Homo-oligomer: A and B are copies of this chain.
Amino acid sequence: MKKHILIVPGDGIGQEVTTVGKQVLDRIAEKFGHEFTYDEALIGHVAIEATGDPLPEETLVKMRASDAILFGAVGHPKYDNDPSAKVRPEQGLLRMRKELGLYANLRPIKLFDELLEASSIKPEILKGCDILFFRELTGDVYFGKRERLDDGNTAYDTMIYSKYEVERIARKAFEAARTRSKKLMSVDKANVLESSRLWREVIQKLAPEYPDVEVEHQFIDAAAMLLIKDPRRFDVVVTGNLFGDILTDEASQIAGSMGMLASASVGDSTGVYEPIHGSAHDITGKGVANPLASVLSAALLLDISFGLKAESEAIIAAVDAVLKAGFRTRDIANSETPADKILGTDAMGAELLKNL
């Protein structure tokens, strides 16, 4: 198979982890006889520094011309602490999602057995847990009108959904539920929000088309609680952009670390594959970032964008093997991990390649 992959490292540890992700894609190409060509592009803070724009036109052109995108992270503390900044790295990320029509963000919470103890949640609560989140990604309060009023003393954002937006992500979630345990949880705040009542209406209206799928509605506050209390109750979950942002970050603790979680953003055109972790400037440049989320993002890319199941599974098996051999990055190590098994980003990448 011949494919063109765009690498978009972005900010902070994005560079370090996508380097390993790309090495893994390269090895897969070699091993399975594919031809992957690559290009690279800027986004976020590094793009602002280089061009003044968090999503330069050149990046967008390259994105549209590629078959899939391996993405790093976006963000910089400089802007976080300056609420008045007009140009921000995150604008690049949000505009990319909108421009590419990436309305469905899939976040699988997959638990590697070896990491059962890495979580702050009790292993007996976690064992067997396997969740697939569908987070809506191009609507909600992320894209509604926002404004300052009243001489800057009041600010608002608009939480907004149209039925077609809910329907297209819900259908993806219903379809996925069919291939799994046939249970779908929809999360909203319909006891307060009109946009959530619209959300719930659409789910209820679609449900009869999927009679084999059992639908459960939860309010976001209850869901945030249940996710810790009884994570095995969750299988396929569909929710809006903001609630999905919160719930999936929380769910990362099930997998022991954000450093283990990959995501796929898909929709109308090129898919984007990225860790759910952020730019993590506190550890940037130290060579200690966990590259496995980027590696697992590469696995999702092969599976979802290219339909290369065996290749994708080979990567997951390699991650499993490396963990079974006892290797850990700092974020997933514990007090019992021998010092010589705690690896930096590159060394973890090297171990992984040995297993591919």
Question: Which A residues have a C-beta under 8 Å from some C-beta of B?
Answer: 75, 79-81, 83-84, 88, 90, 94, 120-122, 125, 141-142, 144, 146-148, 150, 153-164, 189-195, 197-198, 200-201, 204, 217, 219-222, 224-225, 227-230, 242, 245-250, 252-253, 258, 278
With both beta carbons as reference points, the residue of chain B lying nearest to A160 in the complex is identified as B156
> Could you give 13 example pairs across A and B, Cβ below 8 Å?
A83-B198, A120-B228, A121-B121, A141-B193, A148-B198, A154-B160, A157-B158, A220-B245, A224-B224, A225-B250, A225-B253, A225-B258, A228-B228
What's the number of copies of this chain in the assembled complex? Answer: 2
Given contacts A147-B194, A246-B246, could you give 5 more A-B pairs where the C-beta distance is less than 8 Å? A83-B200, A144-B156, A154-B161, A156-B195, A189-B242
User: Are A249 and B224 neighbours in the complex by a CB distance under 8 Å?
Assistant: yes
A193→B245 CA distance, assembly (Å): 13
On whether A148 and B191 interact (CB within 8 A), knowing A120-B122, A155-B161, A228-B250, the answer reads no
- Are A201 and B84 closer than 8 Å at their CB atoms? yes
Beta-carbon contact of A192 and B229 below 8 Å:
no
From residue A42, how far is it (CB to closest CB) to chain B in Å? Answer: 19
* B221/A249 in contact, CB under 8 A: yes
Interface contact A159-B156, CB-CB below 8 Å: yes
Return chain B residues, CB-CB under 8 Å to A125: 120
Taking a contact as CB atoms under 8 Å apart, the answer to whether A83 and B192 are in contact is: no
User: Are A120 and B230 in touch, CB under 8 angstroms?
Assistant: yes
A150 to chain B, nearest CB (A): 7
* Chain B residues near A190 (CB-CB < 8 A): 80, 83
Contact B75 A157 (CB under 8 A): no
Q: What's the nearest-Cβ distance from chain B to residue A259, in Å?
A: 12
- For the complex, what is the distance from the CA of A79 to the CA of B190, rounded to whole Å? 9
Write the chain B residue with the least CB distance to A148. B194
A198 to chain B, nearest CB (A): 4
Task: State the CA gap A224–B249 with chains docked (Å).
Answer: 7
A167 nearest CB across to chain B (Å): 10
Q: In the docked arrangement, what's the CA distance between A229 and B257, Å?
A: 9
Chain B nearest CB, measured from A93 CB (Å):
9
CB neighbours (8 Å) of A204 from chain B are 81, 83
Which residues in B have their C-beta under 8 angstroms from that of A258?
Answer: 225
| Bound: A84/B227 CA distance, A | 28
Contacts of A247 in B (CB 8 A): 224
The reply to whether A142 and B192 contact each other, CB–CB distance below 8 Å, is yes
CB within 8 A of A250: which of B141, B147, B250? B250
Contacts of A224 in B (CB 8 A): 224, 246-247, 249-250
| Assembled-state Cα–Cα distance A221/B239 (Å) | 15
Which residues of chain B are near A201, meaning CB under 8 Å? 83-84
